[in-house]
Structure 1
């Protein structure tokens, strides 16, 4: 509208935790007086899944929504029209608003092609006899609350696998892999602590191989028959030095396996999206290929490990997810400015209006 010079939404910060107070203000800069019935603010958080399926030979779109927050407030005017409409004088106006985020575990903000979890403020300026201007401001939720110091994550995890070779010298022909994880939960930026022991009594050269894999499951509820989709991505891969035949080698990850920034584990919090990680450990034999597989569930947390009674505590920073993890390889076209966007990460010329961020540590408390 010609008499509104500026209409904007400002928040006190860009990311929030469950239970915090979200506050900000609506900016209206007008060049003349005009009638204004109300200014309404909506706080909303919801998950959305959507993709195409084949039904009777036709491609159809299926989708589902789940709401976590749906709160409303009026920061100007009256809820019911009584015939008396106030006049907003010209000039710069700031209308404050405030919402209390629920204490319950809120799923984090998330962007992908198949599903999203978005939180936003929507403002509607209700002007009589005119199309109401609307504005939206997206923000990030950091969650759910997963603490690396919980007892369930501090217990070491161990595994052992043996591969006997059919031979007259049975005991001298086998390969044994022993693996130990100091703990099972990590915040992005921390180093994964893994120890491995390979006893290679075979006639082949052997190597230790580790892969951290991200699994994401998307769901759409369609009554009795729902639909689902699963994707997986290798976050990082490590191949150790060769272990010669009839030798034994021990390996300690030390600071070599740093967890990149990516979405935390999400299980049982969102009905439409589940996300989890698995560390796959195996031995790669020169002729026989991979063998002695072990799978360890790894929890990506939001509260880092702290050394008890230490003055050095990890420092949290917030970063976008790495571009090879689900949640980091896609930007919604509505968050692009300046060009048509096809969803590929190679296209870097557009201005990105919004991307969710995730907790990562600067100083590692391992």
Structure 2
């Protein structure tokens, strides 16, 4: 109504974990005294799937919903079910009403946006005005889940596979290729390097390459009818091609070496048995590729995308941040039109403007401006790499006098370590600072300052 000049929902942070308290406030400014029954705040989590199928020659749309969270509190006045006729006068001015919810301590699916299914978490505020339409507001947030730790014993066991193939032409043997692959562990967080080794023997008269892929598989399910409907969508999350293995030679591949890093991109975590309508899992596919791009000796390994990174035995600390999903897998391809301003986004990158008149192509500046007008996108955990040389620099910093300023320390240390020193000595309020989290506090205490991430020194 016209008397309400400002209405906003503010959360203490934009990213939450299961079991954390969710706190915030509703800011309301009214120009005149208004009669209000009450102000209600709802916390909801909802999974929605929509599939288009062909039934008896007709195209039908099947929908299904699953509520993951549904809580309500009254932060001012009374609920409409308590006393329908009760009203109170809200005096004019600026008002701030605080609220708090407790997220359940259980395995919860992550926030995700795809064309056929969504999982959304949001806070909704309703100002109950009995004699007029009730103003409403919604604030979306990202939930990180489910809780998958790379340090669990079942993920630390190595997997090994090997195979060979004899190439023949008619009755004559023309050559042999053999492949042995070792996957050191089966769970990785986004931003970590894949730990894989391979031994390749090429006893043929042409060159080959080792091809590594991570395949994302999402299964949607709508429980309508007797059997329900399911649909599977497959995307390639990562593809890596090794250096060429020459004919009649053998080669060894190790992704842990600096010249062969394979970094896991930012993608939604594995989600199996958590949501009734949607499942996400990944497969690591390793194969030999010849000059004509033909693949052979294909091997598949199960791989899990976790939410808590691997920690080295020397320290239980790790650094994480949050980032958007890459735009070539499910979870990053599609942005709902309700979260975009000015244009409708259909999931496909556009290169020309719609409409006639012979208008030209969109410039990069125009395209970047459109991309900035996005109201909400879910984020996912991303592991941060430690700066090179940080171990020695950390020890040198600790050895300096406590009265020395960062400028004095920079001057005393070697010039080659300046970059690492600057990274360690940034003020805690810097936007490039990093979180150092322990596994015990990852789900409860690690994200109190999401807007300004704090940095701690690594103990080695």
TM-score normalized with structure 1 length: 0.94
- Matched residue, 1:231: 233
Q: Do residues 360 (structure 1) and 382 (structure 2) align?
A: yes
The 5 A counterparts of 1:298-309 are: 298-309=303-314
When residues 285 and 84 of structure 1 are mapped into structure 2, their CA distance, relative to the original with a 3 A threshold, is closer
- Matched residue, 2:346: 342
- 2:113 corresponds, among 101, 111, 114, to 111
TM-score normalized with structure 2 length: 0.75
- Matched residue, 1:279: 284
Asked if 2 retains the 8 angstrom alpha-carbon contact of 1:318 and 1:359, the reply is yes
Q: What is the SS of the residue equivalent to 2:239? A: strand
Q: Do residues 259 (structure 1) and 261 (structure 2) align?
A: no
- Structure 1 CA distance for aligned equivalents of residues 348 and 295 of structure 2: 33
Q: Do residues 317 (structure 1) and 321 (structure 2) align?
A: yes
The 5 A counterparts of 1:208-223 are: 208-223=210-225
More helix, by proportion:
2
Q: 1:308-353, CA deviations, whole angstroms, 9 ceiling, x for partnerless residues? A: 1237x33110001011111011111111123333343456515100
Q: What is the SS of the residue equivalent to 1:173? A: strand
Asked if 2 retains the 8 angstrom alpha-carbon contact of 1:315 and 1:362, the reply is yes
Asked if 1 retains the 8 angstrom alpha-carbon contact of 2:78 and 2:86, the reply is no
Aligned-pair CA distance for 1:288: 8.9
Q: Do residues 187 (structure 1) and 189 (structure 2) align?
A: yes
Asked if 2 retains the 8 angstrom alpha-carbon contact of 1:204 and 1:287, the reply is no
- Structure 2 CA distance for aligned equivalents of residues 83 and 214 of structure 1: 54
- Matched residue, 1:46: 46
- Matched residue, 1:102: 104
Asked if 2 retains the 8 angstrom alpha-carbon contact of 1:329 and 1:345, the reply is no
Asked if 2 retains the 8 angstrom alpha-carbon contact of 1:52 and 1:60, the reply is yes
Q: 1:217-273, CA deviations, whole angstroms, 9 ceiling, x for partnerless residues? A: 111111322111111111221222222222110011125210111101111111111
Q: Higher mean Cα deviation, 277-286 or 292-301? A: 277-286
The gaps in structure 1 that reach 5 residues or longer are: none
The gaps in structure 2 that reach 5 residues or longer are: 351-366, 388-460
When residues 197 and 31 of structure 1 are mapped into structure 2, their CA distance, relative to the original with a 3 A threshold, is same
More strand, by proportion:
1
Q: Do residues 6 (structure 1) and 6 (structure 2) align?
A: yes
Asked if 2 retains the 8 angstrom alpha-carbon contact of 1:215 and 1:230, the reply is yes
When residues 300 and 84 of structure 1 are mapped into structure 2, their CA distance, relative to the original with a 3 A threshold, is closer
When residues 162 and 42 of structure 1 are mapped into structure 2, their CA distance, relative to the original with a 3 A threshold, is same
Aligned-pair CA distance for 1:166: 4.6
Q: What is the SS of the residue equivalent to 1:153? A: helix
- Matched residue, 2:397: none
- Structure 1 CA distance for aligned equivalents of residues 69 and 321 of structure 2: 26
Aligned residues: 363
- Structure 2 CA distance for aligned equivalents of residues 323 and 60 of structure 1: 28
- Structure 1 CA distance for aligned equivalents of residues 211 and 321 of structure 2: 30
Q: What is the SS of the residue equivalent to 1:334? A: helix
Q: What is the SS of the residue equivalent to 1:189? A: coil
- Matched residue, 2:159: 157
Asked if 1 retains the 8 angstrom alpha-carbon contact of 2:335 and 2:346, the reply is no
Aligned-pair CA distance for 1:57: 2.5
Asked if 2 retains the 8 angstrom alpha-carbon contact of 1:43 and 1:121, the reply is yes
Asked if 2 retains the 8 angstrom alpha-carbon contact of 1:11 and 1:24, the reply is yes
- Structure 1 CA distance for aligned equivalents of residues 220 and 84 of structure 2: 47
When residues 8 and 281 of structure 1 are mapped into structure 2, their CA distance, relative to the original with a 3 A threshold, is same
